[in-house]
Structure 1
Amino acid sequence: MAGSKPPSEPHFHFETIGVHTGLSRSENVVRDAPIYASTSFSFNNSAHGAAIFNGTAEAFCYSRIGNPTIDVFEKRMAALENGEAGLATSSGPAALFLAITALAQAGSNIVVVSTVSESSAHQFRYRLPALGISARFVESGQVVQAIDEHTKGVFVESISCTDLLVADIKSLAGAAHKAGVPLVVDNTVGVGGFLIRPIDHGADIVIASAAEWLSISGSNMAGIIIDSGKFDWLKNKDRFPQFFEPSPGFHGLKLWEKFGNLSFIAFSRAAVMRDTGPCLNPFEAFQLLAGLETLSVRIERNSSNALELALWLEHHAKIGEVRYPGLPSTPLYQVSANYPKVNYGGILYFRVKATAETPAMILDNFKLVSRGSIGGSKTAIVEGEGPGDGRIYVSVGLENIEDIKADFERALSLV
């Protein structure tokens, strides 16, 4: 199955995986992954083609389902997240939509833990209910009570985009598994496993938007789904019949009999991706592979810049609150064993000691720092959602930290 982690891959550290994993040089005879800009591929004969389309032969047939360039990206991402197989999508929201609709159908529900990003919240509140899939928003201590016989998964962000708090993935996984459902973790802010690897702490499925940090400058739209290969679908087959019953879209093929514990990612690719089409294109995959090669060094710089800026803001006379996971003053969800002690990512937020109008005034005063979205190599600021929220989010980039602090000093001095 395209996207699976190579079985003979030697054990490498994260930085080495980001540079090497997924490319078979003996087959491709190249040093870097080539771009396969083709929609379709040749077959040995008609029977071979039919077998590939039906999922009973291992080969590429059509780039909406699998492509050699994208396959390298999927394998590398699976290795970085310590999973077994990956599926690349056209965006982060596409990854979420595919993962949820592969698990759930009309009449099902998903338990959503704590606050999630605005785009994810919109899917759960507006798009999925139109398909008959409801969401139950709860705090982490209410997960067990929220799960019923129609629940198909528990969803959480590894690091909340809103509160910058780290989820207690181990406890959430235990609660989900006890009820017989997988834990799905959005690891966008966990940066491809560099900051935190949810699968190491019990997560079953990882999704992420790749645009923010996996690409070199945050300019490549993409998403990724990673299957840990560890959830016991067989034990919970009554809850997930789509993996065990004959599939009408594949001439009666029973996915479990062929793919076993990777039935979820196989169904996501061969059914949901095939039929809805939000696939990644090979040009984006090629650029993302280049981004993965420098991921670790870029995030180290993002993290060191963010920590220094957070410490500087904490001592500024006009700042009232600063939240950054690397600050001793920022609370965590009992995750000392989950979170690294060196790098904490590039996102922080602060509030100023002033009126509700102040955030907008500050945003207009920057010269170097720009308005924008999180991620990328350039420092950007985003105003908090809702009237009177007061939070100013900062996505700290790769510039010299003294230049960043000088721009903040200038902006704050004009308030």
Structure 2
Amino acid sequence: MADSTVTDTATFHFETVGVHAGLTRSENGVRDAPSFLFNNSAHGAAIFNGTAEAFCYSRIGNPTVDVFGKRMAALEHGEAALATSSGQAAVFMTIIAVAQAGSNIVVASSVSESSVNQFKYRLPPLGITARFVDDGNINHVEQAINEHTKAVFVESVSSIDLLVSDIRALATVAHKAGVPLVVDNTAGAGGFLLRPIDHGADIVIASAAEWLSISGSNSAGIIVDSGKFDWEKNQKRFPQFFEPSPGFHGLKLWEKFGNLSFPVFARAAIMRDSGPCLNPFEAFQLLSGLETLSVRLERISSNAISLALFLEDHAAVGQVRYPGLASNPLYHVSTKYLDRNYGGALYFTMKSLNELDTAIFDKFKLVSRSGSVGGSKTVFIEGEQPEEGVRRRIYVSVGLENIKDIIADFEQALSLD
């Protein structure tokens, strides 16, 4: 029996792809990819220079990590993927791969504090600036793009406001200007809840800790390229893919890799030279997580909508924000893009501004404080201390426990006793 790779996943459903994509089969069943062996010195040099395909060094590519990347590309409906050491590494590598000193990116939604810090404080010393359009207004995004813009960046579901972005509209604006739409799809749970590429996104990135891992505490990230952005039409804006590459003996990436020049550049240049690679054991754990992703997200989503409805009816609770609630100001956008379920993240505020607003944090018995979300356990995160007169947001990542136990814990914590 000849070797074959389980890559034709178009006929499989999401759950099947999550178990099988990226594996190679032979007469002995499933086997690993080739070891780091070179035929000769010329063969080794060709691999390191990007002119031959094989594994040569774990910082650039590893068999186990490669399976995880291929599986993520299949789940997100992309053409190629690159696994990284963290979600923030995925963000940073993507921006550095498309932008250079003197250029900018347009940020089209409220984004996580970590991304804000990166955009505001880490990129400017490198000569790259961010233009923030927090309200996500399409007209404002279009106005923010100029001749120096290299990408439009957005979170599929804002980690601050929990509002779903209008990806199709943003893709239209970005492509009209000749730049790719980059979507942080951490909240999309590996494509289970939302596949931005299906709606026009060009590059999808995510932190792989949240929801993809069973515990929610792994450190990993992923970059998935759709392979659809027309880099050649916009080559004046992205010369790094068309001019001779000094780090690769003058290789012109576009001539060899075409529309996949971006992920090749991100791997062979950014990953090779700066080193934020994913270690194989993390990849192994994440592959195990992907096999149960569907069933876990179904339970998590079911628990989350039940908890959101309970909170919405509670006398002590003020605002409740969850993508699946009809009271969500952009509920019509949620139903447009989230066609399976609505995920496990929500936030709420208290009606009162007195000490109850903070006292409830110490009353939970089952639910705990945590900085890691998307795992099997229900946790909450205290939002930043707001301005005077503004109610603090309490963010909740709903887990797999029995919903009756989750609600009972919230009920006693919210009580005035």
Is contact 1:35-1:286 (8 Å) kept?
A: no
Structure 2 stretches of 5 or more lacking a match? none
Q: Secondary structure at the match of 1:199?
A: helix
TM-score for both structures, normalised by structure 1: 0.94
Map Cα deviations across residues 355-407 of structure 1 (whole Å, 9 max, x no partner): 15433211111010000132100000111123344111110000000100111
Q: Secondary structure at the match of 1:60?
A: coil
Q: Give the share of equivalent positions with the same residue, in percent.
A: 74
* AA partner of residue 266 (structure 1): V
Q: Secondary structure at the match of 1:49?
A: helix
Map Cα deviations across residues 14-42 of structure 1 (whole Å, 9 max, x no partner): 11100110000228x454x7699xxx811
Aligned-residue offset at 1:340: 3.1
| Residues 299-308 or 5-14, more deviating | 5-14
Q: 1:389 to 1:318 in 2, by over 3 A?
A: closer
Name 1:66's counterpart in structure 2.
61
Name 1:195's counterpart in structure 2.
193
Correspondence 1:10-409 to 2 at 5 A: 10-26=10-26, 29-31=28-30, 41-138=36-133, 139-141=136-138, 142-332=140-330, 334-335=332-333, 338-355=336-353, 357-373=355-371, 374-387=373-386, 388-409=390-411
Q: 1:357 to 1:256 in 2, by over 3 A?
A: farther
Is contact 1:299-1:345 (8 Å) kept?
A: yes
Map Cα deviations across residues 97-154 of structure 1 (whole Å, 9 max, x no partner): 0000000011110000121011111111111111110000013321111111110000
Q: 1:146 to 1:361 in 2, by over 3 A?
A: same
TM-score for both structures, normalised by structure 2: 0.94
Question: How many residue pairs end up in the alignment?
Answer: 406
Aligned-residue offset at 1:339: 2.1
> Considering only aligned residues, what root-mean-square deviation do their CA atoms show, in Å?
1.7
Is contact 2:353-2:391 (8 Å) kept?
A: no
Map Cα deviations across residues 312-331 of structure 1 (whole Å, 9 max, x no partner): 11111111111111111112
Give the Cα separation in 1 of the matches to 2:315 and 2:374: 28
Q: 1:356 to 1:43 in 2, by over 3 A?
A: farther
Q: Secondary structure at the match of 2:162?
A: coil
Q: 1:369 to 1:34 in 2, by over 3 A?
A: farther
Give the Cα separation in 2 of the matches to 1:137 and 1:356: 34
* AA partner of residue 66 (structure 1): G
Map Cα deviations across residues 217-242 of structure 1 (whole Å, 9 max, x no partner): 11211000000000000000000000
Map Cα deviations across residues 183-226 of structure 1 (whole Å, 9 max, x no partner): 00000001111101000000000000000110111121100000
* AA partner of residue 408 (structure 1): F
Give the Cα separation in 2 of the matches to 1:120 and 1:106: 19
* AA partner of residue 72 (structure 1): V
Q: Secondary structure at the match of 2:337?
A: coil
Q: 1:6 to 1:270 in 2, by over 3 A?
A: farther
Give the Cα separation in 2 of the matches to 1:91 and 1:312: 34
Q: Secondary structure at the match of 1:413?
A: coil
Q: Secondary structure at the match of 2:18?
A: helix
Q: Secondary structure at the match of 1:327?
A: coil
Aligned-residue offset at 1:10: 4.8
Is contact 2:164-2:334 (8 Å) kept?
A: no
Which stretches of structure 1, 4 residues or longer, exceed 6 Å deviation after superposition?
none
